[in-house]
Structure 1
């Protein structure tokens, strides 16, 4: 039986954000003011979401296993400290870029920013994979799927409302068609109708028509079968 993975959906979104940001950095001409502003704003979004995600794990996930595996908790807390160090370095680099005047300085800081984001991405990809392997194994040993769902609900209740649409956007980009369909069905069945409509609007805004049409068709088919 496949167990509930408390990290799965948000990690897919965060990975999609990292991949997209890295590609944009590689393609950006940092002497072009508009393009540079767009990509540096996205790097700032990366820092904001990963900082909030680490805070969530520190306050809602790791405490659930402290009594059982304190040494494992200490390991992941230490990794979050290293992650914060990488984030601080990136934040300082964004500030440095904002102060650049010459094209040469912009190109230099831009290259350094690209390399720093690559290091941040590599660290976090490995860190998230370790969480899904090590922490899930412990959580599944001591908690039922229903109990883990309750942890997710507590997390959602404490997410900054300003960040939720951004998380949702990148999860929409990172999930498969079938995963998005199941996500939308859960929203439809458990949330007010206006929330479901807003999620459908998000799907329409973020997904290619080819993907959106498949998801809409499967949702309609599911609704007819339910009827």
Structure 2
């Protein structure tokens, strides 16, 4: 993909003049952050340090689990919504999802092979996994752009914001607590401040106090002091009391 100023302007033109419910914005920020951080961590992993090696491999495996779950969520909730009112609108992305599932399976096997290989084989196998993961991440970035443009256009044309919130609510309700907490760890720190306040403000109203507090505990180490203070101010919470 080659990006020039004209293409950037065209991308900007696809954004609604009045903000709409965006099913992709938050989770895609989380996935971009998680993929990038994991790829960079794999690149600097010390294959001679057993703990660092094990943690690096486990991080890749964890990422692949999240990406597989994300595909399943979109296949189960978002694609049927598109097909219900714009038949054929999700077919191109659905085909890419099938390719991603096969790629994830290959990467899962590569991680298992790396963890089981002889110490002398770790370095070349880790490098091969790094290159394979880099290509997978690159394709995912292009894939997410397609969803954020073509799919959002279809959703915004055929659904009201209330209807999109219903789709989003059903999807979120299907996510197990452990997966949700991991998603929050990668989503909230990499949102813009206003997005953080909106997301956590809604969660504060709807979720049990213990669950909301657990999310704050998970994300706080990954926010700067200034970001944390802005979040507390936006939520109307005393920063000192929340620390």
> Do both share a fold (TM > 0.5)?
yes
Which of these residues, 67, 74, 78, is aligned with residue 61 of structure 1? 78
Task: Name the SS for the 2:26 alignment partner.
Answer: helix
Alpha-carbon displacement from aligned partner over 1:109-152 (angstroms, at most 9, x marks no partner): 11011101101101111111100101110011110001000001
Which one of 82, 87, 90 corresponds to residue 104 of structure 2? 87
Distance 2:214 2:74 in 1: 27
Deviation at 1:157, TM superposition (A): 1.2
C-alpha offsets along residues 173-226 of structure 1, whole Å, 9 cap, x if unaligned? 32122211221111122222222222222232332333212322333379xxxx
Aligned with 1:162: secondary structure?
Answer: helix
Match of 1:156 in 2: 172
SS at match of 1:3: coil
Q: Which residue of 1 aligns with 2:63?
A: 46
The answer to whether the Cα contact below 8 Å between 2:181 and 2:215 also exists between their aligned partners in 1 is no
Take 1:36 and 1:142, find their aligned partners in 2: how far apart are those partners? 48
Superposition map of 1:1-227 within 5 A: 1-103=18-120, 105-220=121-236
Q: Which has the higher contact order (CA 8 A, sep 6+)?
A: 1
Please give the root-mean-square deviation of Cα atoms over the aligned residues, in Å: 1.7
How many Å separate the matches in 1 of 2:172 and 2:236?
Answer: 27
| TM-aligned CA deviation for residue 73 of structure 1 | 2.1
Moved over 4 A (4+): none
Provide TM-score, normalisation by structure 2.
0.85
Q: CA separation in 1, counterparts of 2:83 and 2:213?
A: 39
Note the residue ranges of structure 2 that are not aligned, 5 or more in a row: 1-17, 239-243
Which secondary structure does the structure 1 equivalent of 2:177 belong to?
coil
Paired residues in the alignment total 221
Gapped regions of structure 1 (runs ≥ 5): 223-227
